[in-house]
Structure 1
Amino acid sequence: MSNVAVPAGLPPFRAIPNLIRENAQARPGHLALRQGSERMTWQELDRAADRVAATLQRHGAQPRESIAICGANSLPYVVLFLGGLRAGLAVAPLPTGATAEQLAGMVRDSGARFFFVDADVPAFDAGVPRIRMDDAALEQWLDAEHPKPVHVHPEWAFNIIYSSGTTGTPKGIVQPHQMRWAHVARGENYGYGPDAVTMVATSLCSNTTLVSAFPCLAKGGTLVLTEGRFDPRAWLELAQDARATHAMLVPVQYQRLMAYPGFDGYDLSSFRMKFCTSAPFSAHLKAQILARWPGGLVEYYGMTEGGGTVILEAHKFPDKLHTVGKPAEGHDIRLVDEEGREVARGEVGEVVGRSGAMMAGYQNQPGKTREAEWHDAAGNRFIRTGDVGRFDEDGFLVLMDRRKDMIISGGFNVYPSDLELVLRGHPAVHEAAVVGVPSEAWGETPVAFVVPNEGAIGADELRAWVNGRVGKIQRLADLRYVAELPRSDIGKVLKRQLRDGYTPG
């Protein structure tokens, strides 16, 4: 699986493990990692990564094999990740919310030689050595210091991220070194450098985190890892104390920060750029951030699988906050219909993309890989997103919905995002998600799940309010109040759980 697109204009490939070494040589005493009271300089990080790489090699691990890691964000987690890469291995960072059965399947599928865990990972037989990374076991395992040099090739697997999105069985997304290098090269546009301080508040098992963390590390900056569950006050205090310059947060985290009563009392003037990805990001929330938080705001739209990335530099285009922006430089984004034909500007179609940041494929699933691909008339390979959208007159992409989430009611397309926008316009609504459920009369019909604000009106009254503002086909068949919406580790609403758990009545 070496079909990796490399667009013109991308700087010559540099392997991230080599950049880590260069940073340690240039700034040995500079702070590389920080979490709580723990600190690690670049020299210490480089030596620690060497120990991991050398020990893996001593135990017979060969380039292009893999290791798996599962646990909360920690300094040892970062060290193991970098050490694996230095030995030429791919790293499979596994989701902490998975069951023992799911984790066992991922470890097997990844082909991992070792499985590194913390105390919270459930016990099961992984079929490979299982090593605790949060106690003395890791130090005992590390029994070598000087690894053999490995020449990393751009098409080699960098990591295998297991992501089922919001549906299905997890698939191993193989991201090559070339893809990660493309992210580093893009990061030069956003102020990453030796003086950058990047906040890490999402899991290291997520591509959302890695697209921000690795550009910072590659440029010799400092990663600040938060501890425990996301807490707005703790995050703000840490960002202020660390003089943070960059942060990647998901929309629900931004929402909680903007709602925190003491937000405006913190000094966040050190921020250069804030990033957001992974879930719908409302125009209203973007506008709040721009008005109250120093520094730029960038929204990335894309997939863990890669393909094309669309970027909205919200601080430059405040009149386009309802969009996800324009294709990144060198990224080819097109829209296709159900038959795979390109649609005209202004028409709705599925988003497909091609760039230098593309997965090699799904681990051990060539059929799924083929399903995720679209080829143009010239045979160029694109990645299908499953999202439906259109380009406006200025070339900005307006997303409608996930194709699989689109509701077909009475033969008409109903976009849940349109209904969710109406719902959010009522003061009783804190959060909302709309899904399609089976209907004998219509095939499918919309149902809303709402997290209410304090003092909310009755569910039937709110449903009537919505139905009075939408078309006949769009009317809600039901509306349920819920305490919270089910979400993935990075904040995506798990609509499949809402659909599967719904019973009429």
Structure 2
Amino acid sequence: MVEDGFRNIAELLREHAAARPELPALVQDGQALSYAELDALVDRIAAALQREGLAPGDAIALSGLSTPRQAAVFLGALRAGVVVAPLAASSTPADFAAMLADAQARLIFVDASAAALVPAGRRTIALDDPDFEAWLAPPGSRPQDVTLRPEAPFNIIYSSGTTGTPKGIVQPHGMRWMHVQRGAKYGYGPGKTTLLSTPLYSNTTLVVFFPTLAFGGTVVLMSKFEAGAYLDLAERHRVTHTMLVPVQYRRLLAHADFDRHELSAFEIKFCTSAPFPAELKAEVLRRWPGGLVEFYGMTEGGGTCILEAHLHPDKLHTVGRPSEGHDMRLIDEAGIEVAAGEAGEVVGHSPGMMSGYHGQPEKTREAEWFAPDGRRFIRTGDIGRFDTDGFLILFDRKKDMIISGGFNIYPSDLEAQLRRHPAVADVAVVGVPSEEWGETPVAYVVHAAGDATPDPELRAWLNARVGKTQRLADLRSIEELPRSAIGKVLKRELRDRYKKETQA
């Protein structure tokens, strides 16, 4: 079982199917797939992939709404040793094509929400088409066994925005296994139910999805988050575990019927992927039964901080302490560790770290920091300070990445796209606070000489060319961007300017 050492997560399904064949593994819209049914479907998918000639280390792409069938394809690939590149259906066609090429995906599995993104001529299996059944290996098929080592690639998660070159984060099986082992303390197991409303292409979802199944629990999937529907499902299924991003917690607590729902079955609620304000954590603890656990880390891996908020109500302004076995340090601009109590960039080392950015060794090196003893750390780009109890307080993101609704947005991607418009002479994109999304992107544009293009027209032009999660909330003209003596745009000044302008 889970405590026996490294395992292929997909192989644990066999044990659960043998021990509790009728227990529901995946549930959606009132339909359940038992462990026996899921195990058999995963076998047929793995056998079909092998029939197609895919070998361990080869990749497939998977895109669409979260469904039991999509989850089964992910698991079937893992059973065959095939690497999964889960791609956002909200991507632009250009970025979707770039990610397919980068992953070297041999097959593409999509539903109707992503079908239009697939470049012409690519081999595609429609998840929501009757042809999927015809593609599967015959009932009762069993794939050839594969042996995987912890360093074998598990999946490639793409972290970039939609207008720049995407970076594929290669996560090995050992990293995912670490997530499973970490879950042992959170009460997963048969009879426990996890409700997931974030997409299966997101690392946020997968860090809870796989541990739930590895321990024999039930996953209830939502293809799209809606606060009222979430609360109804949580009550109906007596949900014990969930993963939500801060904006979802805010929307749920603001729902008119929140306090009328019976949520006493909850044991643990998780949160990650975006800044989680202390006052929101306090409200969750006050109104929602069960513990609250915040994970701070990167899809790239490295160090992870964990805040068990229900045990440390006086530390809600922090993201917790480094997880057991994780070494997290703070460094200055020169890569030297800072003195105790000082702020610096957060770097982390742990048993769970990415192999690197797929096909981008230079980007991989940029993300690495090596300690004097040669140990490899991952740079977060976040600035923080440890308090006297070892809890990490975050101040700012060194790389100015914006996290909106749990999704990473890179300002440089949006800036590069805006610069293609002839009206734009210079531009800077910053993240500003948003009650709805946590953060949202805003652009400041210096117009080309003599240009009079209205700001709303420029904003609409940009938003039509990016994915929906990257759209600008506002665009404003500025005569000159504030810069430092060495020419760096002072984005903090722009954020302060926007706050003053909107409060005036």
User: 1:143: Cα distance to partner?
Assistant: 2.7
Alignment-derived partner of residue 360 in structure 1: 355
| Counterpart among 280, 286, 294 of residue 291 in structure 1 | 286
Would you say the 8 A contact 2:330–2:347 is kept in 1?
yes
Which whole-Å deviations, capped at 9, do the CAs of 1:45-65 have from their partners, x for residues lacking one?
000000000011111111111
Please say if 1:89 is aligned against 2:135.
Answer: no
| Counterpart among 461, 476, 490 of residue 444 in structure 1 | 490
Report the Cα distance in structure 2 between the residues aligned to 1:55 and 1:440, rounded to whole angstroms: 57
Report the Cα distance in structure 2 between the residues aligned to 1:435 and 1:350, rounded to whole angstroms: 25
Report the Cα distance in structure 1 between the residues aligned to 2:235 and 2:33, rounded to whole angstroms: 20
Report the Cα distance in structure 1 between the residues aligned to 2:388 and 2:332, rounded to whole angstroms: 19
Tell me the secondary structure at the aligned position of residue 304 of structure 1: coil
Alignment-derived partner of residue 217 in structure 1: 213
TM-score (normalised: structure 1): 0.81
Report the Cα distance in structure 1 between the residues aligned to 2:168 and 2:64, rounded to whole angstroms: 18
Would you say the 8 A contact 1:337–1:350 is kept in 2?
yes
Would you say the 8 A contact 1:64–1:88 is kept in 2?
yes
Alignment-derived partner of residue 479 in structure 1: 501
Cα distance change on mapping 1:329 and 1:436 into 2, 3 Å: farther
User: 1:360: Cα distance to partner?
Assistant: 0.6
Report the Cα distance in structure 2 between the residues aligned to 1:303 and 1:48, rounded to whole angstroms: 32
Would you say the 8 A contact 1:245–1:271 is kept in 2?
yes
Alignment-derived partner of residue 176 in structure 1: 172
User: 1:201: Cα distance to partner?
Assistant: 0.3
Unaligned ranges ≥5, structure 1: 1-9, 407-415, 450-473, 482-505
Report the Cα distance in structure 2 between the residues aligned to 1:432 and 1:101, rounded to whole angstroms: 25
Which whole-Å deviations, capped at 9, do the CAs of 1:51-89 have from their partners, x for residues lacking one?
000011111111111111010001110110000000011
| Counterpart among 15, 22, 28 of residue 15 in structure 2 | 22
User: 1:37: Cα distance to partner?
Assistant: 2.6
Report the Cα distance in structure 2 between the residues aligned to 1:324 and 1:270, rounded to whole angstroms: 25
Would you say the 8 A contact 1:349–1:389 is kept in 2?
yes
Report the Cα distance in structure 1 between the residues aligned to 2:362 and 2:400, rounded to whole angstroms: 23
User: 1:217: Cα distance to partner?
Assistant: 0.5
Tell me the secondary structure at the aligned position of residue 378 of structure 1: coil
Unaligned ranges ≥5, structure 2: 402-429, 445-479
User: 1:22: Cα distance to partner?
Assistant: 1.1
Please say if 1:64 is aligned against 2:57.
Answer: yes
AA at the equivalent of 1:71:
G
Alignment-derived partner of residue 264 in structure 1: 259
AA at the equivalent of 1:479:
E
Report the Cα distance in structure 1 between the residues aligned to 2:437 and 2:146, rounded to whole angstroms: 52
Tell me the secondary structure at the aligned position of residue 159 of structure 1: strand
Alignment-derived partner of residue 452 in structure 2: none
Matches within 5 A, 1:124-273: 124-125=118-119, 128-144=122-138, 145-164=141-160, 168-228=164-224, 230-273=225-268
Alignment-derived partner of residue 395 in structure 1: 390
Report the Cα distance in structure 1 between the residues aligned to 2:30 and 2:294, rounded to whole angstroms: 32
Would you say the 8 A contact 2:247–2:438 is kept in 1?
no
Report the Cα distance in structure 2 between the residues aligned to 1:358 and 1:150, rounded to whole angstroms: 23
| Counterpart among 41, 44, 54 of residue 48 in structure 1 | 41
User: 1:12: Cα distance to partner?
Assistant: 2.2
TM-score (normalised: structure 2): 0.81
Report the Cα distance in structure 1 between the residues aligned to 2:121 and 2:204, rounded to whole angstroms: 29
User: 1:13: Cα distance to partner?
Assistant: 1.1
> How many residue pairs align between the two structures?
432
User: 1:346: Cα distance to partner?
Assistant: 1.1
Point out the more displaced range, 140-149 or 368-377: 140-149
Question: What percentage of residue pairs aligned between the two structures are identical?
Answer: 55
Which whole-Å deviations, capped at 9, do the CAs of 1:131-189 have from their partners, x for residues lacking one?
10011011011134211111121111111111116994321100000000000000011
Tell me the secondary structure at the aligned position of residue 179 of structure 1: helix
Report the Cα distance in structure 2 between the residues aligned to 1:288 and 1:274, rounded to whole angstroms: 13
| Counterpart among 279, 289, 297 of residue 302 in structure 1 | 297
**Which 4+ stretches in 1 moved above 2 angstroms?**
123-128, 165-169, 429-449, 474-481
Tell me the secondary structure at the aligned position of residue 405 of structure 1: coil
Please say if 1:276 is aligned against 2:254.
Answer: no
AA at the equivalent of 2:133:
E
Report the Cα distance in structure 2 between the residues aligned to 1:334 and 1:40, rounded to whole angstroms: 44
Cα distance change on mapping 1:166 and 1:286 into 2, 3 Å: farther
